[in-house]
Amino acid sequence: MQHWTLSEVDTPQGARSPVVLHSKDGAERAVLIELRAGEGLGEHSVKESALILVLDGTARVEAGGESVDGGTGSLFHFEPDERHSVRSDDGARLLLVLAPWTGDGHYRGERPAASGVSAS
């Protein structure tokens, strides 16, 4: 079993350096993202099904012409290749889960460290 206390995981670079908590090819990938006040993830899509959970703060999520302000505990789901963006005016911590990891054509990036936590 692996275990993380997400409020204690350091995210020193904010959105520029998400922390890969767990990654297993053909299964799933979990990534911790901190958006500092005014930061966001511009419109994009991924090859996998994606879930974003707001762990702390608030985030504005936009997809398909819809905009939703989500606070702590809000959960969002996106289909593969669904265009979306995420922004936080006041700052937020997000948990991103991608499944199955890796979808065809997805950038593989660096592998997580043996501890189950890395900045990549």
Determine the pLDDT at residue 107: 55
* Rounded alpha-carbon distances, angstroms, from residue 69 to 25, 27, 62, 92, 102: 32, 29, 9, 12, 29
pLDDT tops 70 at residue 91: yes
CATH classification at residue 103: 2.60.120.10
Whether 8 is covered by a domain: the verdict is no
Domain range for 89 is 20-107
Percent of all residues in the chain with a pLDDT value above 90, rounded to a whole number: 69
Is residue 49 assigned to a domain? yes
End-to-end CA distance of the chain: 22
Is 68 among the domain residues?
Answer: yes
pTM attached to this predicted model: 0.81
Using the predicted structure, report yes or no on whether residue 113 has a pLDDT greater than 80: no
9 within domain boundaries? no
| pLDDT tens digits, one per residue of 29-69 | 999 999 999 999 999 998 899 999 999 999 999 999 999 99
